[in-house]
Amino acid sequence: MFLESYSNVHKSKISFSRQQASDFAKKIADDFNPLHDVDAKRFCVPGDLLFSVVLEKSGLSQNMGFTFSGMVTDGIELNFPEVITDSAWVTDENAKEYMKIEVSGDNTLNTAAINSLIRSYVEFSGHTFPHILVDLMAKNKVMINPTRPMVMYENMFIHLDVLDFTEVKLQLTTPTLTVDGKRGKVTLPFDFISDGKVIGHGKKHMLLSGLRDYDQSVIDGLIAHYNDKKAQFCK
């Protein structure tokens, strides 16, 4: 499958180099979060890459939940479940847990359905900033720390009424931001659309830290920097 070039397999364990993880973020998810830059001090493998590997290995179930409990850095060899009955974990050789997966309902290994959902979801997920997040911050009169923008993936849940599709798109419904002091929680609800019909829905949660008063000029600078990074990469 298409994820082979974004991961390394050694004796059934999977790891990611900085370059592979960064390329996935930028080329597949269109995500230029600085945490995924090759030279980032606090480098983190995109949660969407872990999500994608799970689907490729164990298939797509009607109901799936993904909860992240640790940041994956480059070179860590991970154990991904081959088959998930009710719940399973992505762990390292020391049994440290990085992600919990919960499933129920029917399951499919259909490559077309899985690849379409992966690509649609990670592209949707990668466009959180500035497309969605800036509007939410402006409405709540807060913003992330411009020098250390911390936006972390917390969990995501999906439900599909059917699994017999070949192409699917995601459509955002009503996003929200709940602020508690210097921390915030973003909720991104979405629908799955196939052949013009809603065939399911999902919800993604992200955590923000280091919030401060909203400053449009600072936000404009962040957006300009983000867009410049994207333009330089796409040259």
Q: What ranges do the domains of the chain cover?
A: 2-233
**Which tens digits make up the pLDDT trace of 4-21?**
899 999 889 999 999 999
**Which tens digits make up the pLDDT trace of 75-124?**
999 999 999 999 999 999 999 999 999 999 999 999 999 999 999 999 88
Identity of the amino acid at 17? S
Per-residue pLDDT band for 30 (boundaries 50, 70, 90) equals confident
Q: How many CA atoms lie within 13 A of 69 on its CB side?
A: 13
Do residues 184 and 141 make contact, with C-beta atoms less than 8 angstroms apart? Answer: no
1, pLDDT greater than 90: no
Angle between helix 47-58 and helix 111-126 axes, rounded to 10 deg: 170
Residue 118's H or E segment, with its range, is helix 111-126
pTM: predicted TM-score of the whole model, two decimal places: 0.91
Instruction: Look over the chain and give the mean of its residue pLDDT values, rounded to a whole number.
Output: 93
Give the per-residue pLDDT at 235: 65
2-233 to CATH, choices 2.40.160, 3.30.70, 1.10.10, 3.30.310 = 2.40.160
Q: Token pair of 62, please?
A: 């009607």
Q: Average pLDDT for residues 61-67, to the nearest whole number?
A: 98
* 3-state SS assignment for residue 79: strand
**Which tens digits make up the pLDDT trace of 153-173?**
899 999 999 999 999 999 999
